[in-house]
Structure 1
Amino acid sequence: MLGRTYERENCSAARALELIGERWSLLIIRNAVFADMRRFSDFERRLGVAPNILAKRLDGFVADGLMRRGGDGDYLLTEKGRQLGTVIIALTEWGDRWLAPKGPPILFEHEDCGGPVHVHARCEDCAQQPTAPEVVAVAGPGADPDRRPPRDPSRPRTS
């Protein structure tokens, strides 16, 4: 467990994993986003998750602002929660490539036109879609000054 104080990890990915990194969490969010599930009983029945685990995850989502309780007791996604749909698509595409020998079990389509939806990393300056080896992590404005990653001086910087 990473813990809640992030003393060793000044990293948004680590913070996000504290909210959604457990497998039931991602499956609950997936069903809320793409199957429009809202009711405790629907999540429980569809996922087969134990009620105590489901209650803990849903209560945590409400506390963390990913969901809110509706007047009828439903669990409704907030904008913060809905935006995790992009994360689910990206994770699914990775799974389709490496873990789906018969092909993708589900596809994502744009509801308005039926076109396929994919997640792509794109450079904002040149519009290229670099692969992981072509992407480097550099310190951002929220980086701890004492823990900034060293920058390779031999690597050219375009900005």
Structure 2
Amino acid sequence: MSRRSYDQYCAVARALDAVGERWSLLIVRELLHGARRYTDLHADLPGVSTDILAARLKQLEAEGVVARRRLEPPASATVYELTARGRGLRQVVEALAAWGLDTLGEPRPTEAVRQHWFTGPVVS
């Protein structure tokens, strides 16, 4: 997958180069709750394909937003977690959540809902 860039010497453009692809900030939202296995991320991001999730995680890792870590036995699982740079996106995600709160209303019949989307670090 070729990498797209705005090719602008602008902090907003550079930030969007790093996290502006579809699903990237939702992955960050999930990781703000703590380290997660790939399967858990996939389960809590309904609608994302496995190819796109893998590509976004790889891109976020290359940007220094996400780190992959192997848990010690008996878990022996690989988890993804935010780096310090990634945790710096907390205020951005919280601001987007606050901005979008007025538009929620009642869930549509086709919309997925997860309880942790309404608790924890991104609730305003």
Q: TM-score, normalised by structure 1?
A: 0.57
4+ aligned runs moved over 6 Å, structure 1: none
Larger RCO: 1 or 2 (CA < 8 Å, sep 6+): 2
Equivalent position of 2:101 in the other structure: 96
Which residue number corresponds to residue 4 of structure 1?
A: 5
Distance 1:84 1:69, change over 3 A: same
Per the alignment, in what secondary structure is the counterpart of residue 118 of structure 2? coil
- Residues 89 and 108 of structure 1 are in contact (CA less than 8 Å); yes or no, is this contact kept in structure 2? no
Contact 1:39 1:75 in 2 (8 A): yes
Larger radius of gyration: 1
Consecutive unaligned residues in structure 2, runs of 5 or more: 72-77, 107-116
Q: Give the structure 2 partner of residue 46 of structure 1.
A: 44
Looking at structure 2, the residues matched to 88 and 30 of structure 1 have their Cα atoms a distance apart, in angstroms, of 7
Bigger strand share? 2
What is the total number of aligned residue pairs between the two structures? 104
The one-letter amino acid paired with 2:118 is: I
CA deviation profile, 1:16-66 (whole Å, cap 9, x unmatched)? 111111231111100100x32421000111112111100000011111101
User: How big is the alpha-carbon RMSD for the aligned residues of Structure 1 and Structure 2?
Assistant: 2.4
